[in-house]
Amino acid sequence: MPQNVKEYLPNFHYLLYDLSEYSDEEIKGNAQLRIILKLLRDVASKSTEEFLRSFYEASHALLEIEDKQKGIEFFEITLRYVFNAVRDLTKKDMERIVRQIETTFPEGSEVAMTLADILREEGMQEGLEKGRQEGASQALAKTALQQLTEKFGALPEDLKEDIKEADLATLETILQNIFKYQSIDDVKKFFEQ
């Protein structure tokens, strides 16, 4: 990340506070945006049990995605984020997530079971931090690209690459401010050298 990007990044605790001001009803946008904003709001500020309740509620929004294949892909990214972001998920928690998904979003139950098995095999501890950062960054980058494309149309290739390579804090900031951007230039300022 370029050195001067940090000047554009507000204090992470402030961002969590700012996002935490909004209730579920106040978070607007398409299903994907609502899901990611709710998860960002709740992942660091709530207990595991409260976060899982928020996740279950957010998973209902997946039903609103008309393109089921796109829904499954987004669902997989979301699950990777959840499994990597919540530090104290147990095997029992993962099994509860899979059961909940089987009833809420049956199309995604196979993905949930596969991810849970992969994480269980990897031992949840080994490489967790690196996987957490990479998984969360990939999920947020994909969501940012989708949301910015929806808002502004085709994005310049250099901006797409910058977003794909951005760190987690930059991506979180971009997504949390998506409603404030008036043009692509507002997003590009995060990557100026």
Name the one residue in this structure whose structure tokens are 């207990």.
47
pLDDT in tens, 148-163: 999 999 999 999 999 9
Give the whole-angstrom CA distance, residue 162 versus residue 158.
6
pLDDT in tens, 122-156: 554 555 556 666 777 888 888 899 989 999 999 99
Q: What is the DSSP annotation of 22-73?
A: --GGG--SSHHHHHHHHHHHHHTTS-HHHHHHHHHHHHGGGGG-S-HHHHHH
pLDDT in tens, 71-87: 778 777 777 777 777 76
